[in-house]
Amino acid sequence: MTTEKAMFGAGCFWGVETTFRNINGVRNAAVGYAGGKTENPTYEDVCNADTGHAEVVEVEFDPSVVSYNQLLQVFWANHDPTTLNRQGPDVGTQYRSAIFPYTPEQSAAAERSKAEMNQSGKFRRPIVTQIEPAPKFYRAEDYHQRYLEKRGLAHCAI
């Protein structure tokens, strides 16, 4: 089985991880930090909002079962990509909407998907999701991995 990786930032990573983990064809999902300037950031570093990192989920998937385009549709459907540096009650650059493509093909698909979503009329405001080549992924501390699952929760209460 061949797998690929995808990386998304869509607010607090706990719920995003659970959403992607529950998709058929996703082999693994890990929460972490990406897109900032600090090497090996901690959760506390990122929460201070001065590292430049976003809370992200790195998704390992089997493209013969679920396509990158399908993952993009899940991404758009499960957060508000029109709010700059905010998702629900969470505010700060670490909660920004972001797609970090690993390949030129993923980058093209992400840009195309963003344009289609902007034109779809689904959102009343323009999409502010940033799309940048995948930077280094820093895996979050173990207590953040499968956070909701460990607590018997299906989703974050907002």
132: its two tokens: 């940048």
Instruction: Tell me if 27 sits within 8 A of 61, measured CB to CB.
Output: yes
Residue with tokens 């493209």: 63
Helices (H), 9-157: 13-21, 43-47, 68-77, 104-120, 147-150
Of 7, 12, 54, 71, the catalytic one is 12
Specify whether 12 is catalytic. yes
What residue type is 65 in one-letter code? V
For residue 77, give the nearest of 40, 37, 113 by alpha carbon.
113
Residues near 17 by Cβ (< 8 Å), separated by ≥ 6? 29, 30, 31, 57, 145, 146, 147, 148
Residue 36 CA neighbour count, 13 Å, CB half: 27
Give the residue numbers annotated as catalytic, written as ranges. 12
